[in-house]
Structure 1
Amino acid sequence: MMRRLVQLYAGLALYGLGIALQVDSALGNDPWDVFHQGLSRQFGLSIGVWIIIIGAVVMLAWIPLRQKPGLGTISNVILVGVFADLFLHLLPDPSAPAARWAYLIAAIVVGGFATGLYIGAGFGAGPRDGLTTGLAARGHSIRVVRTVIELSVLAVGWLLGGTVGIGTLLYAVAIGPLAHVFIPLLETKKPSADPSAGPSAGPQPSPEPLVGAGQ
């Protein structure tokens, strides 16, 4: 349990770092952070505060969908935004193109690794992933639901002034394969409640991430 908790909170911290690196690169954010940044630019408050607010609002949408949050879900809503703001404050702003690209590449790799840590800890889906799976459980395709949600928040975020660019595309292309590598590598083995039980009582595989650990 202690290892899983450390892994969970390390994953959330690193996910916040990945967000900060990608925002500071100014080469394009992932769709949800385009939205968060757009809200920040139009209505004030920091990107991290908007991550928390939108995460809480999205989690409220779980209620009619009958989704059950876990410790990881609650921690995700509160901490990813806190860590994103912390690292946005601490990281030096890159000015040279090479430094901006280094930030972007690091952001994508860190995001994939953080997803593996967070999902692998097995404490529940992020608020945005839960929304997607909850809607899909109503008879819709996960791929269609995910695409509609992400394109919607991307479009609204862009209209609000969030940064869309090559980083947005690279993140969308790379995060799935990276998560596919890191989740099995970092998945923790949870002991069976009944040691005498058969194989069916063993650990269940973690779900495939839909929009990223912190999303």
Structure 2
Amino acid sequence: MSLRSLAQLHAGLALYGVSIALMVRANLGMDSWDVLHQGLARHTGLPLGWVINGVGVLVLLAWVVLRQRPGYGTIANVALVGIAAEGALKVIPQLDLLPTRWGALATAIAVNAVATGLYIGAGLGPGPRDGLMTGLAARGYSIRRVRTLIELTVLTAGWLLGGTVGLGTLLYALTIGPLVHRLIPLFTLSKGNDHASPQRHPRQHATQPSGRLRRALVHAGRD
């Protein structure tokens, strides 16, 4: 676990939280998971950041059934994304003008894609939602079917709870996959970049994503 991989992981998680806040302020629709987060926040009265972290913990419980093993990046994802999102929401003001909101949405999608490439590319463990999807896919199910089922289930639940669904939801769904498909390989650290050998750092070697996991995450296009 090198300083470079740690820095990249934390930068990615912080940017991911910022992208969530930008989508909230744009108010043009959230991605599926954040529709659920927003709906739960409205019904429980809890801050959005707390809900994001809480849902992450619940999803991690499903990893036990799927026999997935979290890495440091998995725990950091649960702990930091919600905090970053809540902090960004306190800084980013409400947006009223439609062109400004569309600009915020476009920025949110771009930042989200970069953030995903950074934290997955760090190779320190996938986020809880990534692990849920790839864990199911590893049991022999089609990644396309698994992703579609998860996205539709989460989106429907979030919509029923009052989460914001709009054109931004569709735009995110259509663009985030191709974007992260290009960005994950760009930001993926090689063993040489980590300046560590598996013999000296067996724990880091164990948390490096397998080829199957990396391919699944690229096709999934989600944190």
- Give me the TM-score of the superposition, normalised by structure 2: 0.88
In structure 1, how many angstroms separate the alpha carbons of the residues matched to 2:76 and 2:123? 13
Structure 2 residue 84 is matched with structure 1 residue 83: yes
Match of 2:198 in 1: 193
Match of 2:205 in 1: none
SS at match of 2:95: coil
Alignment of 1:120-199 (within 5 A): 120-191=121-192, 192-193=197-198
Q: Is the 8 A contact 1:129 1:211 kept in 2?
A: no
In structure 1, how many angstroms separate the alpha carbons of the residues matched to 2:141 and 2:186? 30
Q: Is the 8 A contact 1:119 1:183 kept in 2?
A: yes
- My pick for the range that moved more, 101-110 or 142-151, is 142-151
Supply the AA of the counterpart residue of 2:83: V
Q: 1:204 deviation in Å?
A: 6.1
Structure 2 residue 222 is matched with structure 1 residue 212: yes
In structure 1, how many angstroms separate the alpha carbons of the residues matched to 2:115 and 2:54? 21
* Structure 1 unaligned blocks of 5 or more: 196-201
In structure 1, how many angstroms separate the alpha carbons of the residues matched to 2:221 and 2:128? 10
Q: Is the 8 A contact 1:67 1:130 kept in 2?
A: yes
Q: Is the 8 A contact 2:29 2:167 kept in 1?
A: yes
In structure 1, how many angstroms separate the alpha carbons of the residues matched to 2:19 and 2:121? 18
SS at match of 2:191: coil
In structure 1, how many angstroms separate the alpha carbons of the residues matched to 2:25 and 2:209? 39
* Structure 2 unaligned blocks of 5 or more: 201-207
Structure 1 vs Structure 2 CA RMSD? 1.8
Match of 1:21 in 2: 22
Give the total of aligned pairs. Answer: 207
Q: 1:138 deviation in Å?
A: 2.2
Q: 1:183 deviation in Å?
A: 1.2
Structure 2 residue 75 is matched with structure 1 residue 74: yes
Supply the AA of the counterpart residue of 1:160: L
Q: Deviations over 1:173-214 (max 9, x none)?
A: 11111111211111111244369xxxxxx996544342523x
Q: 1:140 deviation in Å?
A: 1.3
Match of 1:199 in 2: none
**Percent of aligned pairs sharing the same letter:** 57
SS at match of 1:61: helix
Greater fraction helix: 2
Q: 1:59 deviation in Å?
A: 0.3
Give the ranges of 4+ consecutive aligned residues of structure 1 lying more than 4 Å apart after TM superposition: 202-205
In structure 2, how many angstroms separate the alpha carbons of the residues matched to 1:11 and 1:77? 13
Match of 1:52 in 2: 53
- Give me the TM-score of the superposition, normalised by structure 1: 0.91
In structure 2, how many angstroms separate the alpha carbons of the residues matched to 1:170 and 1:147? 16
